[in-house]
Amino acid sequence: MPRRNFFRQLFSETIGLAEELRGKPQMRLRELEQMPDEVVRRMTPVFNEYRSYLIEDNRVLLKPNKTEAYQEIYRLNPIESYVLRYFDGQHTLERLGQRASDEFGQNNDIVYQQVKALFIVLAKHAICFPVQAHDD
């Protein structure tokens, strides 16, 4: 691991530990898939303004670091493209699934699973995250 990434990760872990000691529950974004679905449904996604990413046409592009070029990490389907505009910290994943289901006339559970999967992929790349921690 490059030294810069090591110190960035160490800093992040230190902040997380300090927040836990203050009584604020913490969760690593890579652990989202292990969260109970009833918790994930209530999460409200928001984009990370400090991450270098682009959403171009039907692609999500990520710039891994300042010296590298943007790389495609995900191709969006029409439903995913639609819901991304609502990753604004105001809508839960469950509500986004309902909204897209209504808009596209598709099964609510299937659409919600697509929205959830998109959120997890983007969160793992730190492009978005839940607005606040949720209690089980």
What are the structural domains of the chain?
30-130 (1.10.10.1150)
* 3-class SS of residue 45: strand
Q: How confident is the model at residue 136, as a pLDDT?
A: 40
Does pTM top 0.85 for this prediction? no
Which DSSP state fits 70? P
- Asked if residues 61 and 9 have their Cβ atoms less than 8 Å apart, the reply is no
- Mean per-residue pLDDT over the chain, rounded: 82
Phi, psi of 63 (to 5 degrees): -105, 105
Confidence of residue 36 (pLDDT cuts 50, 70, 90): confident
Provide, rounded to the nearest whole percent, the portion of the chain with pLDDT above 70.
73
Q: What are φ and ψ of residue 60, in 5° steps? A: -105, 125
Q: What is the pLDDT of residue 33?
A: 72
